[in-house]
Structure 1
Amino acid sequence: MSAMAKKAKNFKKSKTGVYVSLATTAFGAVSVAKQAKLARNDNDTLRLIDAAVSAAAIVTGLAILYRELKRLGDDDVLLG
């Protein structure tokens, strides 16, 4: 494994990496919300189902990232 790959792997498991992942996932939530709004306006059931499944994936991803932050022992305000 190259030095760059090791650094990237370590970054993903760092507090900063988790925060970046949280922000990226939250940004994805904005896109899903727009998709759901358009689907409701167009009465497109299939796109609405797709948005709901995507939203569930985002919620699951955020829960996993939150658990990872707790595991890292972060004393951030978000964690209470």
Structure 2
Amino acid sequence: MSNIGKKAKNFKKSKSGVYLSIGTTAFGAFGVFKQAREARNDHDTLRLIDAGVSAAAIVTGLAILYRELKRLGDDDVLLG
């Protein structure tokens, strides 16, 4: 693996990387809310279901990222 690849992998596992992931995931929620609003206005049930499933995926992703952030926080505390 290249040096850049190692740095990218380490960044993904860092607090900064997790915060960035949370931000981008939350930003993606705006698109889902827009999709849901348009689906309701058009009375398109299938797109509304798609928006609901996407919203559930976003909530699950945020919960996983929050858990990772807590785990990283626990590693930083010195015991004893």
TM-score (norm 2): 0.91
Q: Look up the match of 1:34.
A: 34
User: Cα deviations across residues 18-68 of structure 1 (Å, max 9, x unaligned)?
Assistant: 000000000000110000000000000000000000000000000000000
**What amino acid is aligned across from residue 54 of structure 2 in structure 1?**
S
1:21 aligns with 2:21: yes
- Unaligned stretches of 5+ residues in structure 2: 75-80
Percent same amino acid among aligned pairs? 81
Matches within 5 A, 1:1-80: 1-73=1-73
Equivalences, count: 74
> How far has the Cα of 1:10 moved from its partner?
0.3
Runs of 4+ in structure 1 off by over 6 angstroms are: none
In 2, Cα distance between equivalents of 1:3 and 1:37? 44
In 2, Cα distance between equivalents of 1:51 and 1:31? 9
In 2, Cα distance between equivalents of 1:31 and 1:12? 24
Aligned-CA RMSD value: 0.8
**What amino acid is aligned across from residue 3 of structure 1 in structure 2?**
N
Q: Look up the match of 1:78.
A: none
> How far has the Cα of 1:6 moved from its partner?
0.3
TM-score (norm 1): 0.91
